[in-house]
Amino acid sequence: MSGAEQKILTLLAKEWELKGPPGILDISEIVAALPLAPSDTLAALKRLFEDGLTDMNSLKTSVYLTPEGYDAIQE
């Protein structure tokens, strides 16, 4: 897992713990919160989605953790 992917999962896990599952955040909030280039953040989000660690709302504007994604960050 890349550093960018780790940072995204950590951010979503914090949201999960503060507000409860599934730890949903708008993509724009994730891009703004992380010290990464927007293109790197979006590429990492795509990889996490493809790996089944995150999922998106139907409009593709928000990202949230799957149970597998939450488990991955807890290890």
DSSP helix/strand/coil, 52: coil
Can you tell me the mean pLDDT for 57-69?
95
Rounded Cα distance between 17 and 37, Å, is: 26
Q: What is the pTM of this model?
A: 0.92
Total tally of structural domains belonging to the chain:
1
Q: What is the CATH number of the domain that holds 8?
A: 1.10.10.10
Residue 9 has pLDDT above 90, yes or no: yes
The domain of 52 spans 3-74
DSSP helix/strand/coil, 31: helix
Residue 75 has pLDDT above 90, yes or no: no
Residue 71 has what pLDDT? 94
